[in-house]
């Protein structure tokens, strides 16, 4: 059980390091770090984390389709600034969720653990989920404030092509 937990922990750290640590730079030439991240692979791996919440991780999809959406250098700079500010605390919160879920599972299998303790632990996990949601909503707000109406329309098309149901 401990080996599985440690393996999952490192997989998540590597995943988010790959997604977030790579550059989100303007696409000007080979010296840019914009294409260092495989955004298709990042999107697939983010889907594996969907049990962490209901709000989708949008940035990998945006970066994978940046040309179709028509991102400018300035818009990419805005996304890079958001990432620089929020990446570490977001990763910390997500890693804590993984850790606390493992603890919850372990203590829930102990017959001496009371329901009160389990409810308190679950509440702690819910608070961490809420923290992650706040980061996701902040990212969403950043996207909404940065996209033009035309870019939002293009992104809506990308979303539907990727299986998202829209209003």
Ordered by start, the domain boundaries in the chain are 2-161
This prediction has a pTM of: 0.66
How does the average pLDDT of the chain come out, rounded? 78
Burial degree of 122 (CB within 10 A; 0-12, 13-18, 19+): middle
Q: How many CB atoms lie within 10 A of CB 79?
A: 20
Model confidence over 68-115: pLDDT tens digits? 999 999 998 998 889 889 988 988 998 899 899 999 999 999 999 999
What's the pLDDT at 94? 86
- 115: number of CA atoms within 13 Å, CB side? 0
Tell which residue, 11, 14, 40, 49, has the closest CA to residue 132.
Answer: 49
- What phi and psi values does residue 108 have, to the nearest 5 degrees? -70, -20
How far lies 73's CA from each of 32, 146, 154, in Å? 11, 12, 17
């Amino acid at each position: 059980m401990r080996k599985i937990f440690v393996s999952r922990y490192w997989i998540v750290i590597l995943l988010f390091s790959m997604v977030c640590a790579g550059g989100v730079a303007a696409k000007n030439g080979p010296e840019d770090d914009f294409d260092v991240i495989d955004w298709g692979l990042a999107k697939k791996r983010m889907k594996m984390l969907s049990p962490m919440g209901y709000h989708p991780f949008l940035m990998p999809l945006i970066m994978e389709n940046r040309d179709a959406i028509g991102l400018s250098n300035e818009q990419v700079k805005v996304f890079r600034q958001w990432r620089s500010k929020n990446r570490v605390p977001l990763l910390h919160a997500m890693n804590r969720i993984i850790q606390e879920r493992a603890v919850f599972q372990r203590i829930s299998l102990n017959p001496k653990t009371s329901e009160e303790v389990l409810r308190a632990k679950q509440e702690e996990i819910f608070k961490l989920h809420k923290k992650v949601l706040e980061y996701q909503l902040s990212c969403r707000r950043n996207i909404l404030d940065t996209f033009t109406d035309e870019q939002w329309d293009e992104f809506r098309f990308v979303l539907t092509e990727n299986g998202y149901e829209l209003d």
